[in-house]
Amino acid sequence: MTGQRLSFGRLVRADLRHNSASFAGVAVAIFVASALVTGLGVLVESGIRGGLAPERYTAVDVVVGSPQYVDVPEDLPLTLPERAPLPADAARDIAEIPGVESVVADVTVPLVAVPPTAGASAGAAATDGSTASELVEAHPWAATALTGFALREGREPASADEVVVTAGTGGAVGDLLTLAHGGDPAPYRVVGIVDADAHAAASERATHVFLSQARIAELDPHGGTPQVLGVFTAPGQAESAAAAIREALPEVVAQTGDGRGDIEFLDSGAARATLIAIGSAFVGTCILVAMFIVAGTLSLSVQSRRRDYALLRAVGASPKQVHALVAREVLSIAVIAALLGIAPGYLLSTALQSAFVSGGVIPGDFALALGPLPAIGAVALVLSAAWGAARIAARRPAKLDPIEALRESSTGPAGIGLPRIITGIVFATAGISVSTVPLVVRGEYAAGASAGAAMMLIVALALLGPWLVALSVRLLGAVLRRMSAAGFLAAANASANSRRLAAAILPIALGIGLGLVQIGAPAIIANEAAVQAQAGVTAELRVTAPGGLSADAADRIAAIDGVSDVSGIALSSAIIDSRDFEGKLLRGEHVLQGVDPASVEGTLDLQVQEGSLAALDGGGSGDGARGATVAVSTDAVQTLGLELGDQVTGMFGDGAPLEATVVAIYERGLGFGDLTMDLEIVRAHTTAALDAFALVSVDDGALDQVREAVAAAGLQASEARGQKAAGADAQSQQGWVNLVALIVILGYIAIAVINTLVMATGERSRELALLQLIGSSRRQVRAMMRVEAMMVAAIAVVFGVVVAIPPLIGMSIGISGQPMPALPVLPSLLIIGSMGALALLSLWAATGAAMRTRPIEEIGSRQ
């Protein structure tokens, strides 16, 4: 047994030594896969352990807030976009817990610092059109205890018009500041200056000021109720006190250490959820692509050594031994390649972080968690994928009988088997069928069906690829044989080695198909959303102020001469419950807008299909949580299974329960959100309780007059029809995520294509040498390879585009009702052109490398 193991090990080492070029290609594919999975694993771990360090809450032991997420059965939690309120008696209950010495409440109110040159005009713009105002966060004076800020000079604020500023903001005791809330300016006298500690002073997120508790309660739409509680404990009892708080009040979150930043910054939790979702989705996709590419590369490697395996089968090697030999060879190089890919993977994670920060997907100061788990997971996953690829590649040489194996060592493998063809046809039929789902279903289901159809068609292409390539080569060959000698040779070689060409064509087609679907889907959605947003606004002006508009500001606009209708627009999101076909609870996030029912018809046209927007109201309840009414989009009707008069249940953006009756169904959901409710009810469930903007309709001939009056009131007016679609920022971020994913995956595919073409062409060095020995010139051989390269590029482009067409048409019909998808022309051409050029350049370089050796020396070395 020991002798058998020793000779088997020697055989593996001999194969690795004599076929180093073939195994180098496999090693490159595994190395890149390891780097990708490691980098994405870091993102997943960062979503679990990373975050934002506290900036203001550095002097307090425990920070308490409400949970900013909603559990979803069998899925990742959904993040609440608004600050969730604390229980009413939380401060009192926490103060009674042993080990707690004191509890300090904090509230944040967004203000705008108006420069002196702007006078009383809150949010006035500079002469060059830029906004001159600065966003400021105001807190009650007591909250300085949480920050470690110390009073440098002056005193604490006592009256409603007094303010304390931080050192370095340029203010001095006795100065007058103009601070605006929701477009309403008010003067404040600086009565004190505080020093921030070094960490907080380095913060670039916001400028902080401190007001009296009474003034904060007056400005805060929620009456100054605590948003966050800072808990001071006895020395060394922070962790035990936090645990006691969680046990006594399960409806709150208590954090210590760097975890305090999760409660201070709302975007920390959102970034965590985003990184987990992105990393998990990318890892799955990369593993599938890696297995596909490694299997293709390994298949070429096995084909180049089919004579060796044929001889092994002829001398009595069993199928199990052939499988074991291939697996050991692959794992021997896979372990080394996977380990070498770890370090570049950690570097890749920082590059991905920078890309996501640039796109606004995560905050710039979100810290990654760099631990060993991503590396361990990547090695395990990549080795598993390599082992699976080895099993696939070894399947054919292992199952052949010795005589057939020796025949194939000279003639090459036969066509793909009937079971594979049948499976491929099934996937192709299913993909085309699913692409037609948007003919009967629109909205989210239509988009999801199109994405599923794309994956089915890509799998079908992978299964049927060799057969389709052989068919394409026969069709093209009839034309190429009549063109020139180079065309004749290229057609003959392609017909005899269609499986080898398929290994080069399929990754390129995969990249084109995947790329077109990845950029096409968000482009179709964004285009339709923009069209709806443009067509649905009937008002002439869109009025805004830095930080948002208050109800009082909207009233001032309505009082301007020439204004016929004003509707404030509050934007948020809601988490809505629904049931699937099996009755299982589903939860999804939907854009929620608030409008003024009395004036919405004069400012917006949502294309109401049933009911009326005038029926929107808050149901007479104080919190607007129950008994309210809602209008839903036609997309949401299909997604949630609703009809006029049905009840919508779920949560507002701040976690408050939502229960409303459907009173209207409208068409333009992409442009204005899936849910529309009464303005006051939506505004009450946002953190700042301010409107995002106001739509203003004016009388004929009064446009310029109204513009001037709005500017005089310190507000900003622009053309209403130029507004972005509701949820456009989220769509933009998702598009950026898709773009980064596409660049990463196409980069991997590009490396795999180069790798595959170099291996496939290198295997043909003997063939190219024989052509020269029987009379072909080097120029003729190169011409033949150029024709083959153009054939590879052309077939790959056609396959890739054909795979992408059904899902994109289906998605376009489902989203916009138009069969012609609104694809971005330049990026689409860039994907097609770059992947096609990749084939041409790779074959050109590989041909040059394969023809460096003199023909007679090449033939001699192969004997």
- Give the whole-angstrom CA distance, residue 240 versus residue 74: 31
Return the SS3 of 641: coil
Residue 202 has pLDDT above 50, yes or no: no
Using an 8 Å Cβ cutoff, are 651 and 574 in contact?
yes
Mean pLDDT of 243-264: 89
Which strands, in side-by-side order, build the sheet including 228-233? 100-106, 228-233, 62-65, 253-255
- Give the whole-angstrom CA distance, residue 590 versus residue 572: 9
Using an 8 Å Cβ cutoff, are 632 and 613 in contact?
no
pLDDT value at position 475? 80
Q: Hey, what amino acid is at 806?
A: P
Question: Which residues in 469-499 are b (16+ Cβ under 10 Å) and which e?
Answer: bbebbeebbeebbeeeebbbbbbebbeebbb
- Give the whole-angstrom CA distance, residue 817 versus residue 808: 12
Which two structure tokens, joined as six digits, stand for 778? 């080097």
Percent of the chain with pLDDT over 90: 19
pLDDT band at residue 149 under the 50/70/90 scheme: confident
Mean pLDDT of 320-326: 78
- Provide CB contacts within 8 A for 689, sequence distance 6+: 221, 222, 683
Mean pLDDT of 107-132: 59
pLDDT value at position 851? 63
Torsion of CA 680, 684, 687, 692, to 10 degrees: 0
- Provide CB contacts within 8 A for 19, sequence distance 6+: 301, 304, 305
Report the 3 state secondary structure along 151-178: EEEECCCCCCCEEEEECCCCCCCCCEEE
Provide the sign of the torsion angle of the four alpha carbons 212, 218, 220, 223, taken in this order: positive
Domain chopping of the chain, boundaries? 1-52+266-414, 62-265, 476-532+726-804+815-863, 538-722
Task: Give pLDDT tens digits for 522-566.
Answer: 888 888 888 888 888 989 999 988 888 988 888 889 889 888 989
Return the SS3 of 542: strand
Within 13 Å and on the Cβ side, how many CA atoms surround 100? Answer: 24
pLDDT band at residue 191 under the 50/70/90 scheme: very high
Residue 182 has pLDDT above 70, yes or no: yes
Question: Which residues in 419-442 are b (16+ Cβ under 10 Å) and which e?
Answer: eeeeebeebbebbbebbebbeebb
Which two structure tokens, joined as six digits, stand for 186? 């008010």
Using an 8 Å Cβ cutoff, are 584 and 73 in contact?
yes
φ/ψ of residue 586, rounded to 5: -120, 145
Task: Give pLDDT tens digits for 20-70.
Answer: 666 677 788 788 888 888 988 888 888 887 777 888 888 899 999 999 888
CA 673-136-189 angle, 5° bins = 140
Provide the greatest CA pair distance for the chain.
101
Strand partners, 633: 666
Using an 8 Å Cβ cutoff, are 407 and 313 in contact?
no
Residue 814 has pLDDT above 80, yes or no: no
Mean pLDDT of 325-333: 80
From 806, 820, 836, select the one nearest 523 (Cα to Cα).
820
Using an 8 Å Cβ cutoff, are 672 and 725 in contact?
yes
